[in-house]
Amino acid sequence: MATTTGTQGFQAAYQGTPHFGHMAEQMQRCIQECLSCFSVCEQTLAHCLRKGGRHAAADLVKVMVDCAESCRMSAAMMSRESAFHARHCELCADICKACEEACEEFGGDAQMKACADACRSCAEACRQMSARH
């Protein structure tokens, strides 16, 4: 029994779908948003640990690490055309939203605002990606 794998499986899943070109473009955008959010979360984590105090609170650090790793994983899953990428994008959007909300509590801190903005943008891209599947 023959099975389709890799690119063949991805193409087979979307045969006859009129938006294949758009989907590829949307996926590329989502990958970029995820990689950007991963990078900003990592930079913000370093910022928080340097500042200490409430910036280094365990709950904040955990959600930031969860967000960074979820974004990295989503980008990797989309890049390899995993059959599970849409489901993971949905989870990633939820985690990004939680990180966004946590970062927004630090008004006046430019790095925290940058992280909240990156999380918001990534969550939107991941929600759109998960809704397409």
Domain ranges for the chain: 21-131
pLDDT digits (tens, 9 = 90+) for 89-108: 999 999 999 999 999 999 99
Residue 10 pLDDT: 35
CA distance 39 to 18: 34
pLDDT digits (tens, 9 = 90+) for 15-41: 333 444 555 899 999 999 999 999 999
The one-letter amino acid at 37: C
* CATH level 3 topology of 21-131: Substrate Binding Domain Of Dnak; Chain:A; Domain 2 (1.20.1270)
User: In terms of Cα–Cα distance, which of 93, 110, 119, 107 is closest to 41?
Assistant: 119
Q: Look up the pTM and report it.
A: 0.81
82: left (phi over 0), alpha (psi -120 to 50) or beta: beta
User: In terms of Cα–Cα distance, which of 118, 107, 38, 47 is closest to 78?
Assistant: 38
pLDDT of residue 72 exceeding 70: yes
CA distance 47 to 111: 8
